[in-house]
Structures are given as structure tokens and as C-alpha cells.
A = this chain, B = another copy of it.
């Protein structure tokens, strides 16, 4: 399954834009290297979140730790690197919780979401353009605080984590 024709109409730093022709219609598609997010739970059963300015939204959002794949990285490597950089968390037992397209109508970003349980605090190492505040929530409080989350990947990841824990 592939387009009849494709042309790059914008080449940027993080994203490119491609226009694809499929039969009688065209689609504008944002190219993206892929991303990860992590539901990280420490030994005191707290989940770690990050609050940061999201320039596109004009304000700070509270989200799961997350980031974009570097060239050649496997999703689990990206996730472990990002969790260390953003939160200083190391170790723990990792598994993939889910994976999804973030906005399949116009963007090729595919995201893997991991659960890391029993992670251990250490020194964080955020990137130069990231100013992050780390926030810890008791897992028992997450369900009634979901109204504070305005980010799709974080809602999906936290809800799925909670629903699996309830079922087990």
C-alpha cells in the first residue's frame, strides 16, 4: 500500500512535509522520526510526570516523560535515555504498554509507550532547550487527577496503565 506519487514540500529540523497522491486525492503528511513515552513508577508507587512549556500551546503542560527517537535508536533505548535525561531515573523493570499513531490523519509519528516499574532516582540531564519540572503523583491519586492532563499520549498511557493494574 503506497502512494502513486510523493514530493517533499518542506524540509525542517524536526519535521518534513510530504504531499502524497493516492489515486484522485492528495494528502499532506508531516514526516516525523517517531517517539516514546514512559509511565515510570518508583519504589514508593509514585508515577513521575514532567511539567514544561509547550511553545505550540502557549503554556505549560503536565505530561508523561517522552521524547523523539534519535537516528538508529530502538524505541526502548530512546525511552530509557529520555527518562534518564528528563527525570534522572534509572533501572527498573520495563515492558511495552502500547504503541499508537499520534495523529494518523496528517502525521507519520508512531509512538511506543513503556511502563518502567521500580525505577531509581539519580541526576537528571535535560537538553539545553528543555526547562522541566518533575512532578510525582501517588498511583492511587492518578485516576481522580486526570483532569489536570491535557495531552493525548499521557492520558492514553496513564489510563491504560490504570486499567491493567485494576484488572490484575
Which residues of chain A have a CB within 8 Å of any CB of chain B?
A: 1-3, 9-10, 12-15, 17, 19-20, 22, 24-30, 32, 35, 53-59, 61, 63, 66, 68, 98-111, 128-129, 143, 146, 149-153, 155-156, 159-160, 162-163, 167
A84 to chain B, nearest CB (A): 19
> How far is B109's CA from A153's CA once the two chains are assembled, in angstroms?
13
> Do the beta carbons of A99 and B150 come within 8 Å of each other?
yes
> Do the beta carbons of B57 and A104 come within 8 Å of each other?
yes
Which residues on the B side are within 8 Å of A54 (C-beta)? Answer: 101, 104-105
Which residue in B13, B22, B24, B101 is a CB contact (below 8 Å) of A152?
B101
> Do the beta carbons of A146 and B160 come within 8 Å of each other?
yes
Residue of B nearest to A109 (CB): B103
Which residues on the B side are within 8 Å of A58 (C-beta)? Answer: 1-2
